[in-house]
Structure 1
């Protein structure tokens, strides 16, 4: 069964093509590198994990409330709209809200996968290429993880938020080599790390807490990479 069968509204089946600008840069200096970045690269190798075996996918998730968040976290809680809703309507809203949010996590991770691959090509120094290669593997694992979570535990996908899509496109379209670092490593990854931490702390579901904890280990390195690479 195709992923398109799980979307709550139709999405284009053709590939979203974002034109990329800039050069693929080769460096012939294979020996010199910044110790901090090379240490981060080593951590990236050491901290690899398998989403299929490391996550306990047997843990149950309520599709009507995938994260098990307190009602106070609901953006409509306390409003007149929420007060007028009956239980069935509140349950439906909570289910769709959770699916929308985790869908954005998924789409953002695919964006990070593409941007980190772009950084491998465009970074002018070898130590940045080394680390970005480990991040590309991280992002592939995150796409695998969130896609499986939505398919098996939620049962529905939402299309990418247009503001997120715009930020992803801008991170790829600029010809300067350092803009993908700023857009992805600092802005998007920084926001994701904060969001994942909030949901990990507030969620009452063991599976959600587990998968977000592992993803956050990777994201913390990604943000550190962006800050180190842009420092100079």
Structure 2
């Protein structure tokens, strides 16, 4: 099943292409590399995990509040609209808000994966390529995990326009360090804060597991 089949928004383009204009750099020195970079590379290898095996996907999601998040976290909560909603409508609102949130996590992780792959090609030093390659694998695993969560939830959303604009700017810039800055500091920095927030407030066991393992990678 394609996750886009779960989008409640019709006619979403299934493919988005960003033009690239940069040179791929080969490092033919094959030297020992800088100690701190090789340490990060080794740490990345040692801390790999399998999203299908490590997370207990048999854990259930509550249909009325899948992630077990307090209603106060919903933007409509303190409005007259929320007061007028039936319990069925509130359950639907929770489900859509939570699906939207996890969807943006997943969309951002794919963006980070593509940014990291670009850095692997552009960065001049082999040790940095090694480290960036572990990030590609990390982000791929996160996309896989969030995709599986959304399939279990039965609802997903496409990337928002503001996030798409940010990713577009990060990828179009020909300088690898600017792509890295946008990915690591802006996109991943915002994501890490959001992951931490979910970790603190979500009461669903599957949600807690998923975010704990993703945060383990992001905080390396």
The normalised TM-score by structure 2 is: 0.95
SS of residue in 1 equivalent to 2:90: helix
Query: Given that residues 4 and 11 in structure 1 are in contact (C-alpha distance below 8 angstroms), is that contact kept between their aligned partners in structure 2?
Result: no
Q: Superposition pairs for residues 41-120 of structure 1, below 5 Å?
A: 41-120=41-120
Range 50-59 or range 72-81, more displaced: 72-81
Change (3 A) 1:32 1:162: same
Query: Given that residues 25 and 121 in structure 2 are in contact (C-alpha distance below 8 angstroms), is that contact kept between their aligned partners in structure 1?
Result: yes
The 1-side partners of 2:7 and 2:80 are apart by: 29
Question: Where does residue 6 of structure 1 map in the other structure?
Answer: 6
SS of residue in 2 equivalent to 1:61: coil
Question: Where does residue 160 of structure 1 map in the other structure?
Answer: 159
Q: Which runs of 5+ in 2 are unaligned?
A: none
The 2-side partners of 1:110 and 1:41 are apart by: 21
Superposition deviation, residue 12 in structure 1? 3.4
The 2-side partners of 1:67 and 1:75 are apart by: 16
Superposition deviation, residue 117 in structure 1? 0.5
Query: Given that residues 69 and 202 in structure 1 are in contact (C-alpha distance below 8 angstroms), is that contact kept between their aligned partners in structure 2?
Result: yes
Query: Given that residues 64 and 94 in structure 1 are in contact (C-alpha distance below 8 angstroms), is that contact kept between their aligned partners in structure 2?
Result: yes
Question: Where does residue 212 of structure 2 map in the other structure?
Answer: 213
Q: Which runs of 5+ in 1 are unaligned?
A: 222-232
The 1-side partners of 2:24 and 2:198 are apart by: 37
Q: Superposition pairs for residues 132-151 of structure 1, below 5 Å?
A: 132-151=132-151
The 2-side partners of 1:40 and 1:179 are apart by: 20
Question: Where does residue 169 of structure 1 map in the other structure?
Answer: 168
Report the RMSD for the aligned CA atoms in angstroms. 1.3
SS of residue in 2 equivalent to 1:82: helix
The 2-side partners of 1:177 and 1:113 are apart by: 14
Question: Where does residue 16 of structure 2 map in the other structure?
Answer: 16
Change (3 A) 1:131 1:90: same
The 2-side partners of 1:209 and 1:130 are apart by: 30
Q: How many residues align?
A: 220
After TM superposition, the runs of 4+ consecutive aligned structure 1 residues lying more than 3 A away are 11-14
Range 199-208 or range 56-65, more displaced: 56-65
Superposition deviation, residue 81 in structure 1? 2.1
Superposition deviation, residue 14 in structure 1? 4.4
The 2-side partners of 1:23 and 1:64 are apart by: 50
